[in-house]
């Protein structure tokens, strides 16, 4: 076993050296910060095992020990309809995966019965590969934004990743083409974002909105086409954040007609290029990149 795997609907985890001296209780409550309800459920069921035995939660862990966590309820509660949508899986192990979302596709169903979203395509991949597990998206991308989306395959990993996202321990890097030539090589956009009262789906910069910070770096400038190629990271994850912030700077994303951009491309030129995080179980540094998947291409001709 290499740190963890799934066997007979149990997640088997090998205790790492960095967990030496921790009790089961401290591993779940302090290291992983697992939800109290979930921990209580496992305590009551007495199905959680250490080296094949049911032990008190005060038991101290030693490197090489094996923790067995039951996952049957996760599979039973799964209710995502599978659909063959040709989704590309960028990374996968027994507890999580990263998929490359195409343009024109929601991250999850927008209405009951819809089966054309990314999560439906990921559910098909799991079904096709014989995996009977739940699937949960940790974050979302706009319908016409492409790129990396992180998914969890069980409730424990889902809760850990949710907390990591909230505590900004998951870094996402976006690439965008914006209209006009940005003079500064890098910058920070720090403007609150709220709903636009005059438009159902649009957001706007608003003093009463939610705090939002976008950091950007210029990668290239195309004076002939009057476009700037930028890399962005977010300190927050507000709806349409990058689109709203660059529109506010009078540099709307190319193709983003909702926020003042010209119809240069069939969609807004925004791609979630990279996702970085520490794996919740192995604690290894993960860096996963999503290749461009537009046809015809939007970004490649603007790369340095």
Active-site residues: which are they?
A: 142
DSSP letters, 119-160, are HHHHHHHHHHTT-----EESS---TT-EEEEEEESSHHHHHH
Closest Cα partner for 108 from 147, 135, 127?
A: 135
Nearest to 69 by CA among 14, 16, 115: 14
Instruction: State how far the alpha carbon of 52 is from the alpha carbons of 19, 75, 80, 127, 152, in Å.
Output: 19, 22, 32, 29, 25
For 125-192, list the strands marked E by DSSP: 136-137, 146-152, 171-179, 186-190
Asked if residues 194 and 204 have their Cβ atoms less than 8 Å apart, the reply is yes
Work out the number of other CB atoms within 10 angstroms of the CB of residue 52: 8
């Amino acid at each position: 076993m290499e740190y963890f795997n799934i066997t007979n609907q149990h997640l088997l985890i090998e205790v790492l050296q960095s967990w030496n001296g921790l009790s089961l209780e401290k591993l779940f409550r302090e290291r992983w910060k697992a939800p109290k309800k979930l921990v209580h459920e496992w305590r009551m069921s007495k199905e959680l095992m250490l080296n094949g035995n049911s032990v008190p939660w005060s038991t101290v862990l030693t490197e090489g020990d094996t923790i067995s966590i039951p996952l049957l309820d996760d599979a039973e509660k799964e209710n995502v309809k599978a659909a063959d949508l040709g989704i590309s899986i960028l990374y996968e192990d027994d507890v999580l995966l990263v998929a490359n979302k195409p343009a024109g596709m929601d991250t999850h169903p927008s209405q009951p019965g819809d089966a054309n979203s990314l999560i439906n395509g990921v559910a098909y991949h799991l079904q096709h590969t014989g995996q009977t597990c739940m699937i949960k998206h940790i974050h979302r991308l706009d319908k016409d934004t492409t790129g990396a989306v992180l998914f969890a395959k069980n409730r424990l990993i889902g809760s850990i990743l949710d907390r990591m996202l909230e505590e900004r321990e998951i870094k996402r890097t976006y690439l965008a083409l914006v209209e006009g030539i940005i003079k500064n090589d890098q910058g920070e956009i720090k403007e609150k974002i709220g709903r636009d009262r005059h438009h159902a789906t649009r957001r706007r910069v608003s003093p009463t909105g939610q705090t939002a910070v976008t950091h950007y770096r210029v990668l290239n400038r195309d004076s002939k086409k009057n476009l700037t190629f930028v890399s962005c990271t977010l300190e927050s994850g507000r709806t349409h954040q990058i689109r709203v912030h660059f529109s506010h700077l009078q540099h709307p994303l190319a193709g983003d007609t909702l926020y003042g951009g010209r119809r240069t491309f069939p969609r807004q030129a925004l791609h979630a290029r990279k996702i970085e995080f520490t794996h919740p179980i192995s604690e290894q540094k993960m860096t996963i990149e999503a290749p461009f998947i537009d046809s015809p291409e939007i970004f490649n001709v603007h790369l340095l």
